[in-house]
Structure 1
Amino acid sequence: MLFKRWKIFAVFVLALAGCLWHENEFSSAADDEAYLPLDDSEYPYAGIPRLVLETENFREIRNRSTKIPARLQIYGKDSPESEIFELTVRGRGNSTYNAPKYGMKIKFSKTVKLFDMPEENEWALRSCYGDKTLLRDYLMSRLGHWLGVKFTPKMQFVELYLNREYKGVYLLTESIKIGKNRVNIPKTENSFLLEKEDPKKVDDPYFKTRDGNLIHIKSPKNPSRENISVVKQHLNLFENYLHRRDFWGEDSIAHWLDIDDFLAYYWVQEFAKNEDGKFTRSVYFYWIQGGTIHFGPLWDFDLGFGNQSRKQFRPAENWFIRNYRWNKYILADSTMNQLAADYWKAHRETFRALIDSIPLYKKQIEKAAKNDFKRWPILDNAFTWALRHSYKSHDEAVDSMTVWTKRRFDWIDENVSK
């Protein structure tokens, strides 16, 4: 028990706080408590921060729309390291939404600064349930920051205790939204933050382009019909342009697309062979009326770096992202293809550095991973979505991903200019 070293008075406060909480005096309890209770006797401290999250009346979180009042506190090894924050929490995610270990979205009642991330009020808690290394999204974030992919979300590994139950290793992640410390573009009716969606789950408001791509308008929140028409017409014209296959005349592709942003975004997706990144879903881009289309931020890489949702193994060899939708047309152009090759050659050492960093990131969560797979013994599960490979240990899962990523690097290096 974490609190056995605390003073008798603190233990008394803890017991009293628990009583207050169960008696549903949610607001008054938040004012009186010094800390939220944490019992880590079964899942001991593992070297990363712990988030203690308690919902009002211990309500379950199984809904993406219902915002449940809650409180949260950050713990270090022996004691709390933050005040008790008031917030709301709801479910989040697509394929992992109904998984035993599910994702959440949290929104604080005020802006707060968490770890080394800028002050904000919204974050996502990513469960990493479909990734037995627990590392893939974090790898994407590191690579995106090193390459300068705009607005790549910052992340922090944490262990989550929800309603006094251990829930495992999560990634506390900056959510994607327009804001000074997120996607820093003007928040006007003519600034559009967009997401390519999957037909299985399309959030309103959305529209379909001439090529059949479903586009969710993430911002502005409540666009008028006129504004939806403006952005839809622009993307339709862009798709018409892509089908022309003539990018370098008077109407250059640089008038339509920010090439530098596209190349950085493309190479992270291609290097990881990200299943969602082939213009399936979780592909973000933004456009300000009168300007160019910018790709980013990066998001959702649990089906990258050798992992996939289908039983067929995805080899490290061969091109992937460039074979689909907009990417197919853009990179079919010989000049764009050469620019992509030049980008790889100029940044290849950055991609190599990511591989070299995997042991460091693995070490950061080594003890926490033992807790996680004790709570969720899925390492040998090869029959559920995204859990297609069976491993004897977390070490084996990480080693397998590392070998795949090295092979991917070597194949691209040998074939990038062919």
Structure 2
Amino acid sequence: MKNLQKRIFKIAMIAFALGVILVGCFWNSPEEDSTFLPLDDSEYPYAELPRLVIETENFKQIRDKETKIPAHLQIYGKDSPESEVLELKIKGHGNSSFMMTKYSLKIKFAEKQSLFGMPKNKEWILISNFRDKTHLRNFITLQLAQTLGDYAPRMAFVEVFLNRKYMGLYLLTESVKVSKDRVNIAKNDSSFLIEKTTEAEKKNNPYFTSSLNYQFRVRFPEDATIEILDNIKNQVNKFESILKNSKSNLNTVLDLENFVHYYTIQEFAKNIDGAFGRSTFIHKELGNVFKLGPIWDFDLAYGLSNKSKSSPYDWYVNRYGWYKYLFKNQQFKNAVKKFWDENHQFFLAMNDSIDVMVPQIHKAVLNDENRWPILERDDSWPHVDYHTSYESAVDSLKDWIIKREKWVSGEI
């Protein structure tokens, strides 16, 4: 009997030791087992959202928007991985957003991946939403554009662990690029996707300055030749010459419905970047007209700009860029008024989307606030609003939307 007990005890101890070894491989030694990337969520527990665990090669730090660093990514559910370990390259992303403590990221997989039901692609963006204490401004705006029938990047909320540190709650989105499931235009030298940029941002990119002295970065074709660049510039200059004529029939040069949708979303949100500053995308293909979009970058919108532009009252975007010429054209003004009269309820319904999403991300928001305690910070850039609770931040956004919809409806 004693020998049997000894054997049972010995087997139990061996099993226990093996368990420790296995757990050790799972949590602490991915070098010994490439099946898993480690995840320590003891401080930031599962929040009912997917978790992206990312490790760069040799734990190299991400220091700029140009250097592509080899990395691996694995998607975790509550208790275990829900994907294989995937190869990718990662770098910083965004203009001002990469300069923040919690910065945005761009990832490019070695092979096309379908993430959370979205169409397969290699390239994706992780938006930090660091200055937006609700985390919802980008989400509700992209969703609004989709509701209106426009293409806007698909998205999903996730939590990110980078190099074994918790980075916070992110919005994973499709990147803006020419693709069948994204900006769907023909891939040839006569089609193009350009982005309104600034003098400071044009370095190291194919760019040109238009006849109205606006700077544009060429996003497609990639590595555009001098000839392609001149062709795009000539098309934009011709467009601007027609735009300056307030009597022009706009249907000959632009998709009127598209321009109206895009402008109205930017104006409603009082988006600083949307006032023909940065992150304004324009695309066109041979034989077709100019189109704006997709909608992008709303973390300086809905009252989060500086004090003079944060009010839910007054017009803003229509004084800038191409819009100031469009508003000298009665055809465009009539189209904007008609669109608003028929669709303003969709703008107000963003508050319904907020009510739906808050319970879904609330636990992750608590994790994020634990990592980045910013709710009560308003003393320095990028934070301009003060809230004693997440609920207060959400209520402030909803109140702004209600006031903005009422004011626009009364003034348009």
Shorter-chain TM range is: over 0.9
Q: CA deviation at 1:377?
A: 1.0
Matches within 5 A, 1:3-402: 12-13=21-22, 15-16=24-25, 21=30, 32-149=33-150, 151-203=151-203, 204-247=205-248, 252-308=249-305, 310-312=306-308, 314-402=310-398
Query: Is the contact made by 2:193 and 2:283 (CA closer than 8 Å) also made in structure 1?
Result: yes
In 1, the alpha carbon distance for the partners of 2:21 and 2:347 equals 53
Q: CA deviation at 1:297?
A: 0.5
Query: Is the contact made by 1:14 and 1:35 (CA closer than 8 Å) also made in structure 2?
Result: no
**What amino acid is aligned across from residue 261 of structure 1 in structure 2?**
N
The aligned counterpart of 2:12 is none
Q: Percentage identity across aligned positions?
A: 41
Q: CA deviation at 1:318?
A: 1.3
**What amino acid is aligned across from residue 130 of structure 1 in structure 2?**
R
Q: CA deviation at 1:19?
A: 6.8
**What amino acid is aligned across from residue 264 of structure 2 in structure 1?**
W
The aligned counterpart of 1:414 is 410
SS at match of 1:396: helix
Which segment drifts farther, 320-329 or 158-167?
A: 320-329
Q: CA deviation at 1:282?
A: 0.1
The aligned counterpart of 1:26 is none
**What amino acid is aligned across from residue 15 of structure 1 in structure 2?**
G
Q: CA deviation at 1:11?
A: 5.5
Query: Is the contact made by 1:52 and 1:161 (CA closer than 8 Å) also made in structure 2?
Result: yes
Q: Give CA-to-partner distance per residue, 1:214-244, whole Å, 9 cap, x none.
A: 0000000111111111111111122122222
SS at match of 1:43: coil
TM-score, with normalisation over the residues of structure 1? 0.91
In 1, the alpha carbon distance for the partners of 2:313 and 2:200 equals 29
Q: CA deviation at 1:91?
A: 0.8
Query: Is the contact made by 2:166 and 2:371 (CA closer than 8 Å) also made in structure 1?
Result: yes
SS at match of 2:258: helix
In 2, the alpha carbon distance for the partners of 1:123 and 1:325 equals 29
Query: Is the contact made by 2:270 and 2:309 (CA closer than 8 Å) also made in structure 1?
Result: no
Q: CA deviation at 1:200?
A: 2.9
In 2, the alpha carbon distance for the partners of 1:9 and 1:342 equals 70
**What amino acid is aligned across from residue 12 of structure 1 in structure 2?**
I
SS at match of 1:343: helix
**What amino acid is aligned across from residue 377 of structure 1 in structure 2?**
P
Query: Is the contact made by 2:30 and 2:37 (CA closer than 8 Å) also made in structure 1?
Result: no
Query: Is the contact made by 1:306 and 1:405 (CA closer than 8 Å) also made in structure 2?
Result: no
The number of residue pairs the alignment matches comes to 396
Q: Give CA-to-partner distance per residue, 1:343-401, whole Å, 9 cap, x none.
A: 11111221122122211112211111111011011112213323111111111111111
Query: Is the contact made by 2:207 and 2:218 (CA closer than 8 Å) also made in structure 1?
Result: yes
Residues 358, 17 of structure 1: CA spacing in aligned structure 2 closer, same or farther, 3 A cutoff?
A: closer
In 1, the alpha carbon distance for the partners of 2:243 and 2:49 equals 47
**What amino acid is aligned across from residue 336 of structure 1 in structure 2?**
F
Query: Is the contact made by 2:29 and 2:38 (CA closer than 8 Å) also made in structure 1?
Result: no
**What amino acid is aligned across from residue 140 of structure 1 in structure 2?**
T
Query: Is the contact made by 1:124 and 1:175 (CA closer than 8 Å) also made in structure 2?
Result: yes
**What amino acid is aligned across from residue 45 of structure 2 in structure 1?**
P
**What amino acid is aligned across from residue 404 of structure 1 in structure 2?**
W
The aligned counterpart of 1:4 is none
In 1, the alpha carbon distance for the partners of 2:22 and 2:221 equals 46
Q: CA deviation at 1:98?
A: 1.9
In 2, the alpha carbon distance for the partners of 1:288 and 1:256 equals 12
Query: Is the contact made by 1:87 and 1:108 (CA closer than 8 Å) also made in structure 2?
Result: yes
Q: CA deviation at 1:34?
A: 2.8
In 2, the alpha carbon distance for the partners of 1:46 and 1:20 equals 25
In 2, the alpha carbon distance for the partners of 1:243 and 1:412 equals 26
Q: CA deviation at 1:292?
A: 0.7
Residues 41, 258 of structure 1: CA spacing in aligned structure 2 closer, same or farther, 3 A cutoff?
A: same
Larger radius of gyration: 2
In 1, the alpha carbon distance for the partners of 2:291 and 2:20 equals 54
Q: Give CA-to-partner distance per residue, 1:1-23, whole Å, 9 cap, x none.
A: xxxxxx9757634534677656x
Query: Is the contact made by 1:90 and 1:105 (CA closer than 8 Å) also made in structure 2?
Result: yes
In 1, the alpha carbon distance for the partners of 2:19 and 2:60 equals 26
In 1, the alpha carbon distance for the partners of 2:72 and 2:95 equals 25
Residues 42, 214 of structure 1: CA spacing in aligned structure 2 closer, same or farther, 3 A cutoff?
A: same
**What amino acid is aligned across from residue 71 of structure 2 in structure 1?**
A
Q: Give CA-to-partner distance per residue, 1:68-103, whole Å, 9 cap, x none.
A: 111111111111111111111111111121211011
Please list every run of 5 or more consecutive structure 2 residues that lacks an aligned counterpart in the other structure. Answer: 1-15
**What amino acid is aligned across from residue 375 of structure 2 in structure 1?**
L
In 2, the alpha carbon distance for the partners of 1:318 and 1:153 equals 29
SS at match of 1:70: strand
Query: Is the contact made by 2:375 and 2:390 (CA closer than 8 Å) also made in structure 1?
Result: yes
Which segment drifts farther, 123-132 or 231-240?
A: 231-240
Query: Is the contact made by 2:30 and 2:36 (CA closer than 8 Å) also made in structure 1?
Result: no
